Amino acid sequence: MRHSTYLEVNLSLLAENVELVKKMAPGSTLLPMVKADAYGNGMIPVSQFLAKECGIEILGCASLGEATKLIHECPDLKTKILVFSDTELQNKEWREVYINGQIIPVLHQTSDLETVLKDPFYAHIPLVIKINSGMNRLGFLQEDLELYLPLLRTRGIKHLMTHFARSSQLLQSGDKTNKQYKNFLELKEFLKNADIQIEATSVSNSGAVEQEFGVSETFVRPGLMLYGPPGVSGESTWKGHQISRWVTKIMSTFKVKKGTPIGYGVNVADRDCLMAVLPIGYGDGFLTYMSGTQININGVKGKIFGRVNMDMTFVQFDLSDEHKIKNNDVVEIWSHDYKTIVDLADQAKTIPYQLMCAVSSRIPRIYKVD
């Protein structure tokens, strides 16, 4: 645990992002993804806020364990919870949790479909079915479903969905996203023609929502953009805010002469400079790929020097900046302006998703409502 190093999560900004998304998808119902601890922002407070303050009625997790944790820690949560990938449907130990219908598995492979269609234990589970329209990770092709048409006809499909592989790129006619959507619509048509009722549909993750693509389906399923970063990489028009700000401080500073070895290993100061030590390291989720990136402290650019340690990190400054960098100064690793996390992710050759998910349990989450 830490004290003056923390992740401040502003839930009012989450509410603003929700409103922006609703405006981009006015005919659609919002199904926020809260998997991976709501992208590092804290699944429990985020889900409770979404349900109580934003009128959300359905949430998305990745694993059954996330869904059961949500229910155990929020017994008064009324939302439905979809489990998108790791449903544990073949794990009999957990099958009871699906019975009351609050937690619903997304079916994405034949073995699970077979179980839910044929085992009387699952006779009342709504069928939520993921189509593989071209991402080729999970989901059914038409030929997989053809074997089950009579059973699907009896049962009806509650929710038919697919997932886009490249919606973070600007849409162009005939591109991968358009092809995936076309495949999805064709398979939907095929099922309808086979007299199978389909109650609801969804296709859009953040990149698609931002481009208002697929937003006429029943649901949209954004994760990333609700927490701040844009769904489209490069030039984005997203008006949302990063709901978190990652705050630390300068724990110590010292001047070093060119040639001085600093910290573990063989990292040697390449010039006379000022070093600041931050109490944040890979044990906090400030991972070693941050080495060499530039961060802004008090308007001065410093460079993450050497390898990030488990508990601390060096930042190198010019000696001329000495008067601007003081012990106990507040440092924002990223701010509520999403450009700061996008820039950091670009420098580290990773994605904002990963920076947010990495923030470890040693970092307290502090919740704020304006």
Is residue 242 part of the contact set for ligand PLP (CB under 6 A)?
Answer: no
Among 221, 245, 249, 365, binds ligand PLP (CB under 6 A): 221
Write down the least CB distance from residue 102 to ligand PLP, Å.
19
- 280 or 356: CB nearest ligand PLP: 356
Among 222, 230, 306, 352, binds ligand PLP (CB under 6 A): 222
Is residue 249 part of the contact set for ligand PLP (CB under 6 A)?
Answer: no
Closest-by-Cβ residue to ligand PLP is 223
Write down the least CB distance from residue 234 to ligand PLP, Å.
15
Among 205, 293, 313, 340, binds ligand PLP (CB under 6 A): 205
DSSP β-bridge partners for residue 304:
315
Among 14, 15, 33, 61, binds ligand PLP (CB under 6 A): 33
- C-beta separation of 81 from 72 below 8 A: no
- 240 or 306: CB nearest ligand PLP: 240
Write down the least CB distance from residue 269 to ligand PLP, Å.
40
| Total residues at interface with ligand PLP (CB under 6 A) | 10
Write down the least CB distance from residue 56 to ligand PLP, Å.
14
Instruction: Kindly give the pairing relationship between strand 29-30 and strand 103-107.
Output: unpaired
Write down the least CB distance from residue 205 to ligand PLP, Å.
3
What single-letter amino acid sits at 169? Q
Single out the segment in contact with ligand PLP by CB under 6 A; choices: 42-50, 216-224, 274-282, 330-338.
216-224
- 203 or 247: CB nearest ligand PLP: 203
Binding mask 162-201 for ligand PLP (x = CB under 6 A): -x--------------------------------------
- 36 or 71: CB nearest ligand PLP: 36
Is residue 206 part of the contact set for ligand PLP (CB under 6 A)?
Answer: yes
Instruction: Kindly give the pairing relationship between strand 244-249 and strand 6-10.
Output: antiparallel
- 81 or 274: CB nearest ligand PLP: 81
Q: What are the φ and ψ backbone dihedral angles of 76, each rounded to 5 degrees?
A: -95, 10
Write down the least CB distance from residue 330 to ligand PLP, Å.
29
Write down the least CB distance from residue 62 to ligand PLP, Å.
7
Task: Tell me the three-class secondary structure of the chain, residue by residue.
Answer: CCCCCEEEEEHHHHHHHHHHHHHHCCCCEECCECHHHHHCCCHHHHHHHHHHHCCCCEEEEEEHHHHHHHHHHCCCCCCEEEEEEECCCCCHHHHHHHCCCCEEEEECCHHHHHHHHHCHHHCCCCCEEEECCCCCCCCECHHHHHCCHHHHHHHCEEEEEECCCCCCCCCCCCCHHHHHHHHHHHHHHHHHHCCCCEEEEECCCHHHHHCCCCCCCCEECCCHHHHCCCCCCCCCCCCCCCCEEEEEECCEEEEECCCCECCCCCCECCCCEEEEEECCCHHHCCCHHHCCCEEEECCEEEEEECCCCCCCEEEEECHHHHHHCCCCCEEEEECCCHHHHHHHHHHCCCCHHHHHHHCCCCCCEEEECC
- 159 or 221: CB nearest ligand PLP: 221
Write down the least CB distance from residue 215 to ligand PLP, Å.
13
Query: Which chain residues interact with ligand PLP by CB under 6 A?
Result: 33, 84, 163, 205-206, 221-224, 231
